[in-house]
């Protein structure tokens, strides 16, 4: 995984430099007309040495592409080291086959896979869904899925390629209404991918990587324990506890190990993509305690995203249910308040959506005074009027202002590593996310940004995401954990507290 991200950064630099010198070079392909829809992209990739034409001087952009050809293009584009394999892992790829080293390199990197019978079938034509999967798999290792509704009716959630096709749209590799990739709302995943389509997808992924810098990760072990004790006079007949689970959030957070004790009764996902562990305990006696422990090892990558200029010219679809949800007011994020709406309009007027969001981020960081950790929630309006709050209020105000500007935003809760932590308040932290027009959610931390550092669509390798969204139903609207209990007779009194420690383990 680290290797692929290094390739990501190195090739971004190569691409950025190369495109300065080769903005639109004519490669001389005899069959590539100046007005071809992917002509300029093909020319640029050719200039970079990633692809070549046929001996007769043609490129044949509408021809299909074989699995071996795609392996070669992927290996060259992603700068995956190649070496003559001592033995091929696929029984139908001999050592002297022209594409053997490319196939082996891509297989070792986890980009391509063979068939259950041990073959690779190098001359088989590549389908659209396979091409998309390989390209997305290179950049993210795992697909990303926001709350975007199903894009294509012929790529339903149960289809194996669904997360990759959805992620390709969210990354902006192609638009769902692009006639070169969809017809009448259908993706037609099993159709053979053309050479031009593969070039288009590949180039856009490389362009995306040019905008995204990802650094070296840090590895942490998060130890989180919730304690419940019955201090009352009555016995608890049933106790239920809900605790969020740390999970992967590609491309900047990956969980390598998890241990939950005792084993949860069930795991459940909510509509915002969070995962929760549910515990049930019968009969908590007077004076008795119960503890629930969650341990996670997680890698956190720092990153900075600088969107392409074309993104500044786009606008959201006001009828999209995701847009409606994340621009609507809710408890503690009163984007319908007249004071907040007036300030949002003042700050965002005349700016592109992205620049407006950045201006709101700067305002919150400069306007609010950090008053230290406070257990009670105030909400965006109250903190705006008071001019002071903690990280929760910084996030609430940013989300409210951003939603008032008709830019989708949501609350994020998690942890931050602090080697000088003196208590719980130094390790728990709240921030926010905004949704770019491509459906990509990126973090914004106005609390950290108050020092003038860049935490807008950027993050360090100390932020550990736990949950996304405010007033989470499965947490009863609370933070970090939620419990309920039942009793008969004398009333119990439950005391609850949590313990957090984050150990830093340098990567190998």
- E strand or H helix at 486, and its extent? strand 482-487
Within a domain: residue 25? yes
Within a domain: residue 347? yes
**Same domain membership, residue 230 and residue 178:** no
The total domain count for the chain is: 3
CA–CA–CA angle 467, 470, 474 (5° rounding):
65
Write out pLDDT tens, residues 261-279: 999 999 999 888 899 999 9
Write out pLDDT tens, residues 351-373: 888 889 999 999 999 999 998 87
Q: What integer is the mean pLDDT of 402-428?
A: 94
Q: What's the distance, CA 242 to chain centroid?
A: 24
Which stretch of 28-32, 120-124, 422-426, 481-485 has the lowest confidence by average pLDDT? 28-32
Write out pLDDT tens, residues 191-249: 999 999 998 898 887 766 667 777 888 999 999 999 999 999 999 999 999 999 999 87
Within a domain: residue 467? no
Edge-to-edge order in the sheet of strand 212-214: 212-214, 303-305, 458-459
Q: What integer is the mean pLDDT of 47-53?
A: 75
Within a domain: residue 26? yes
Within a domain: residue 465? no
Per cent of the chain over pLDDT 90 is 53
56/206: higher pLDDT = 56
Residue in the block written with tokens 């306007």 = 367
For the ranges 4-13, 70-79, 278-287, the maximum mean pLDDT occurs at 278-287
Q: Residue 277's domain is classified under what CATH number?
A: 2.60.40.2250
pLDDT band at 414 (very low <50, low <70, confident <90, very high): very high
**pLDDT of res. 407:** 93
**Same domain membership, residue 309 and residue 385:** yes
Question: Contact at 8 Å (CB) between 65 and 125?
Answer: yes
**Same domain membership, residue 286 and residue 315:** no
**pLDDT of res. 42:** 85
Boundaries of domain holding 373:
303-460
**Same domain membership, residue 493 and residue 356:** no
Q: Among residues 214, 235, 270, which one ends one of the domains?
A: 214
Which stretch of 135-144, 229-238, 326-335 has the lowest confidence by average pLDDT? 135-144
C-alpha separations of 253 from 142, 172, 208, 372 in Å:
11, 21, 18, 27
**Same domain membership, residue 317 and residue 294:** no
**Same domain membership, residue 55 and residue 15:** yes
**Same domain membership, residue 373 and residue 287:** no
Asked if pLDDT for residue 26 goes beyond 60, the answer is: no
Within a domain: residue 87? yes
**Whole-number mean pLDDT of the chain?**
85
Q: What integer is the mean pLDDT of 78-85?
A: 74
**Same domain membership, residue 491 and residue 366:** no
Question: Contact at 8 Å (CB) between 447 and 391?
Answer: yes
31/15: higher pLDDT = 31
**Same domain membership, residue 360 and residue 342:** yes
**pLDDT of res. 214:** 77
CA–CA–CA angle 115, 119, 120 (5° rounding):
80
**Same domain membership, residue 190 and residue 81:** yes
Within a domain: residue 469? no
**Same domain membership, residue 8 and residue 58:** yes
pLDDT band at 143 (very low <50, low <70, confident <90, very high): low
Within a domain: residue 291? yes
Cα separation, 70 vs 106, whole angstroms: 10
Q: Among residues 164, 195, 214, which one ends one of the domains?
A: 214
Q: Residue 343's domain is classified under what CATH number?
A: 3.10.620.30
**Same domain membership, residue 297 and residue 307:** no
Asked if pLDDT for residue 471 goes beyond 50, the answer is: yes
Cα separation, 356 vs 363, whole angstroms: 11
Q: Among residues 165, 194, 214, which one ends one of the domains?
A: 214
């Amino acid at each position: 995984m680290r290797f692929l991200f290094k390739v990501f950064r190195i090739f971004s630099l190569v691409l950025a430099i190369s495109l300065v010198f080769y903005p639109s070079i004519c490669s001389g392909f005899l069959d590539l007309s100046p007005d071809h829809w992917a002509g300029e992209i093909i020319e640029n990739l050719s200039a970079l040495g990633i692809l070549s034409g046929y001996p007769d001087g043609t490129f044949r952009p509408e021809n299909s592409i074989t699995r071996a050809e795609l392996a070669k293009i992927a290996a060259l584009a992603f700068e995956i080291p190649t070496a003559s394999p001592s033995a091929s892992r696929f029984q139908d790829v001999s050592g002297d086959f022209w594409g053997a080293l490319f196939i082996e390199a891509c297989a070792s990197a986890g980009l391509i896979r063979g068939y259950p019978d041990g073959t690779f079938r190098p001359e088989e034509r590549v389908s659209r869904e396979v091409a998309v999967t390989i390209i997305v798999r290179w950049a993210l290792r795992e697909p990303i899925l926001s709350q975007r509704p199903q894009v294509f009716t012929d790529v339903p959630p149960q289809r194996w390629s669904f997360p990759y096709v959805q992620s390709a749209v969210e990354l902006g590799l192609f638009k769902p209404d692009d006639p070169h990739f969809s017809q009448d709302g259908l993706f037609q995943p099993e159709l053979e991918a053309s050479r031009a389509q593969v070039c288009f997808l590949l180039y856009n992924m490389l362009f995306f990587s040019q905008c995204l810098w990802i650094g070296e990760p840090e590895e942490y072990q998060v130890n989180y324990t919730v304690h419940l004790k019955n201090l009352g006079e009555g016995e608890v007949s049933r106790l239920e506890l809900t605790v969020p689970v740390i999970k992967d959030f590609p491309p900047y957070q990956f969980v390598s190990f998890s241990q939950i004790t005792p084993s949860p009764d069930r795991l459940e996902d909510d509509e915002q993509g969070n995962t929760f562990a549910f515990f049930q305990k019968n009969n908590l006696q007077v004076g008795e305690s119960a503890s629930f422990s969650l341990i996670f090892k997680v890698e956190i990558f720092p990153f900075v995203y600088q969107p392409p200029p074309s993104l500044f010219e786009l606008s959201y679809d006001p009828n999209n249910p995701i847009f409606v949800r994340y621009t609507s007011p809710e408890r503690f994020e009163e984007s319908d308040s007249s004071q907040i709406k007036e300030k949002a309009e003042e700050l965002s007027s005349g700016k592109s959506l992205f620049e407006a969001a950045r201006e709101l981020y700067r305002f919150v960081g400069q306007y609010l005074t950090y008053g230290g950790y406070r257990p009670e929630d105030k909400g965006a309006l109250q903190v705006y009027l008071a001019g002071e709050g903690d990280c929760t209020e910084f996030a609430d105000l940013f989300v409210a202002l951003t939603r008032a500007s008709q830019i989708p935003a949501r609350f994020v809760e998690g942890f931050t590593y602090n080697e000088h932590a003196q208590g719980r308040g130094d390790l728990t932290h709240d921030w926010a996310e905004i949704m770019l027009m491509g459906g990509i959610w990126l973090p914004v931390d106005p609390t950290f940004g108050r020092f003038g550092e860049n935490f807008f669509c950027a993050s360090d390798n100390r932020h550990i995401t736990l949950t996304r969204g405010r007033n989470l139903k499965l947490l009863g609207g609370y933070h970090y954990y939620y419990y309920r209990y039942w009793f008969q007779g004398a009333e119990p009194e439950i005391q609850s507290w949590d313990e957090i420690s984050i150990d830093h383990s340098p990567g190998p």
